[in-house]
Structure 1
Amino acid sequence: MAEEKLPIWTKERVKASLPKRGSDSHKGTYGTGLLLAGSDDMPGAALIAGYGAMRSGIGKLVIGTSESAVPLIVPVLPEATYWRDGLEKAARGDVEEHYRAIAIGPGLLPSETTELAVRRVLQEECPVVLDAGALSKRLYPDRKAPIIVTPHPGEFSRITGLSIQEVQTRRASLAKEWAVKLGVTIVLKGNETVIAFPDGECWRNQTGNGALAKGGTGDTLTGMLLGMLCCHENPKEAVLNAVHLHGACADAWISTRSAHTLLAHELSHWLPEVWKDYEE
């Protein structure tokens, strides 16, 4: 059976739905986001995702990461605030501040601590993004705020128990089926990323290219999702716009540079110029 032809989230749709930054606004207008990311062996993931969030409209960013990672990240991202060993503290239930949105997973490994932290943040009444080490086979609680999971095909295979080959053959229909089944938004990454919502709505993204086939680009996307969930009123539009602009940054890169040479954090550095083009 042929795959369903999905509608495309176009540049025109992004332009129509990007938020305006009011002249009388302040950092509280755009909310505080929590990023639980990075570890002793993968401290860079917290930085890469943090860059993505800070460039994507967030008012204030709190990065919960391993104590050893903090002095490495602060010199290059001093605008964030830091919650030392935030994953372990979240796993113990110590999430006290009110957050506009939370993301967890970049640079983390699946573990009991990670799972406990996921369960704790899902108790918060805000959108939650799950990526990388926070992705596992589980059931999700019924909650008003959205849950966004961002698997690549291998991770989607782990979540569903399906083979990677089957996933790649039926990307659209499977993303849609499992989004409804689990009650989550699924961003199934890859060539023409599929974005499926739990109400059955499903879109295809056409930005992006082979430059994204490199470690860390998914961490940037997680950060961008976090930032855009904080500054958008409509969480669906936040997710769709983050995916589109993430790919558009890669497209801007290859307009003057080789696709082989992109570094993940450079997507965030291109975002100001790319985003501005969508405001004109």
Structure 2
Amino acid sequence: MKFSRSYASLIAALAVILGVLLFIVLRPGTSPRETLGPIERMAQVPTGDSLHPLRIAVVMEPGLFEIDDEGEISGRLPEVADRLLTGISYIWVPVSEKSLGIDLLREKRVDILATQQASTDLSESSDLLTTDPISSSHYALMSLQDSLSWGDVLSGPSPVEVYYSTEDKEARLILQNLHDISYTAIRPSEIDLPPLEMMLEMVKGKIYFAVVKHNLAQEMAERFPQIRVVTDISLEAPQVWLIRSDAESLRDTLNQRIRKTDTTE
């Protein structure tokens, strides 16, 4: 069957028109909101020293900050924020580990990192601002339930690996002091995992001894019967929140509120 040249030209023109219409109808959305990541969709990025809306990065951790299956937020940090930030609009930006929150602060994509940050351990965040102490915390030694007496093991002749998170330099210092002063068998062992993930490795039986913040140790021991809190191994240390480097008035406002507010966790 043969077509005339004019008829073939008509068919070709209709095909082009149909293709253009399909492109217009089916092309992906191009609005800025659709191309932004989850953090940018949550709120406009504050500029300069603005207080509204505050974006607070927070590490997901049992007892401190949790979100259930229905999206409900709970934990000691939200309770502190409710008391400290009354009248101020803010949103949470959950992160999996503290280093990611620090990166967001340096990029000025969040204003605050609400975490348990010891005021004596700021060497890796010295370029950021800090609040006055908001709470205090100390460390605990964790072990598997089937471990031998921790005192005998850590005082014995054989080296014993006691793990700490690579994020937690204060825990490393505590372990080194314990080794130097009392328990020569301790071998401080760094693991490249956030504290929570390190504790989950203990739950699986892959780690026998570890050092973490007391609140995390207590929460995990209550939820997982195969691990236990052996003993507290440090004094209470003041904890601060980190603030982006260009937000001095935000820091001053928070410090004024800290002095007037009970932020005890």
How would you bin the TM-score normalised by the shorter chain? under 0.3
TM-score by length of 1: 0.24
TM-score by length of 2: 0.25
| Higher relative contact order structure (alpha carbons within 8 Å, sequence separation ≥ 6) | 2
Which has the larger strand fraction?
2
